[in-house]
Amino acid sequence: MSDFIYLASQSPRRRQLLEQIGVKHELLLPDADEDAEALELVHPGESPVAYVARVTALKLDAAVARMKRRGLAPAPVLCSDTTVALGRIILGKPGDASEARHMLQALSGKTHRVLTAVAVQAGRKRRQALSDSRVRFSTLTPSRIRAYVDTGEPLGKAGAYGVQGRAATFIERISGSYSGIMGLPVFETAALLREVGFNC
């Protein structure tokens, strides 16, 4: 077994969390001709849990194929996907500031779920897990929402916020995994890596 893993994610937060638990990793990012965004399209009627599990599995398929295509040294491949759900409504990454404001207004004063699926493949062994957390937002005024969106932080983040950033001031209560809300549940991740034979 190798002493490192491939991380198929551009998220700096996932890299940070792997570093926190001492897992050496190399990035395995999509080629220019890969349509990574297309993998994240929501199917009609799809539940948030089914969606995040499916997208993570597709990302892992693409990453394993990428590793083989590039002739890279074999090592476990790790993928993860995070989505924010308000009931059955999936709140992905906002396309612009206006969409970010609408998402944050929808979350204001309510409890929502943050679902992060993580999947690992080493050789023929594949394992997947789901982290399901609850986050309660305080009631947000339009001016607070506008000021936050103006920082640019919500763009590129599921649900239009990052728990580790300025939006931490919106959160009254969390139930679940803080690292899962950040984008990589470290407890589940370490357990999956051990299951496929990686020492961590």
Positions marked catalytic: 81
Within 8 A by CB and 6+ apart from 184, the residues are 11, 13, 14, 17, 18, 80, 116, 118
Count CB neighbours of 50 within 10 A: 12
Q: Taking Cα atoms as reference points, which of 59, 125, 55, 113 lies closest to residue 87?
A: 113
Tokens, residue 128: 């997947």
How many Å apart are CA 47 and CA 36, to the nearest integer?
A: 21
How many Å apart are CA 21 and CA 37, to the nearest integer?
A: 29
The secondary structure of residue 95, as a DSSP letter, is S
The secondary structure of residue 72, as a DSSP letter, is P
How many Å apart are CA 79 and CA 111, to the nearest integer?
A: 27
Count CB neighbours of 67 within 10 A: 18
Structural element, H or E, at residue 49: helix 48-69
